[in-house]
């Protein structure tokens, strides 16, 4: 049954958006942005902004949050995103050989074509609309 209540639809859309955000790794990108911003802020206290940017993005001065994010990304790459198709197919193939009777098949017969007289089928094209120039 399809709900037409607008509040439920908005909540469902928000939940689907959140799920898509999490599945695609948006939370890690958000955390990485926060980590970089914090690193630039901390490094700019002791040096110039250009030096802080260099230290942030050179990969040699990682903060603890950056290390956790890198470990989480590595763990996500190791874990399979879904079950392989061969395993899914085995389950369905085992069910296909069960005792379920096959549907009755019979040939489909088209009805007779309506009889149309040729002059009725080919009529003159409509007359073009005259263009009035002012």
- Our CA angle for 77, 59, 45, nearest 5°, is 130
Between these two residues, 35 and 123, which has the higher pLDDT value? 35
Assigned token pair, 64: 């603890």
Neighbours of 43 (CB within 10 A): 19
Assigned token pair, 100: 């379920």
Residue 23 burial (CB < 10 Å; 0-12/13-18/19+)? exposed
pLDDT recorded at residue 119:
63
pLDDT surpassing 60 at residue 70:
yes
Q: What's the rounded mean pLDDT across residues 54-58?
A: 89
pLDDT recorded at residue 68:
92
Between these two residues, 113 and 95, which has the higher pLDDT value? 113
pLDDT band for position 30 (50/70/90)?
very high
Lowest mean pLDDT of 21-30, 109-118, 119-128, name the range. 119-128
Q: Mean pLDDT score of the chain, rounded to an integer?
A: 80
28, 75 Cβ separation under 8 angstroms: no
pTM, entire model: 0.51
Lowest mean pLDDT of 7-11, 24-28, 124-128, name the range. 124-128
Rounded Cα–Cα distance for residues 128 and 126 (Å): 6
């Amino acid at each position: 049954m399809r709900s037409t209540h607008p509040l439920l639809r908005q909540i469902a859309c928000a939940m689907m958006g959140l799920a898509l955000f999490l599945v695609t790794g948006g939370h890690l990108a958000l955390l990485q942005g926060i980590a970089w911003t914090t690193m630039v802020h901390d490094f700019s206290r002791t040096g110039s902004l250009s030096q802080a940017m260099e230290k942030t993005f050179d990969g040699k001065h990682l903060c603890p949050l950056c290390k956790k994010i890198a470990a989480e990304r590595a763990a996500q790459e190791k874990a399979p995103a879904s079950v392989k198709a061969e395993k899914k197919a085995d389950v369905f193939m085992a069910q296909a050989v069960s005792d379920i009777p096959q549907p009755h098949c019979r040939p489909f017969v088209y009805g007779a074509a309506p009889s149309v007289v040729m002059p009725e089928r080919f009529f003159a094209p409509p007359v073009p609309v005259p263009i009035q120039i002012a």
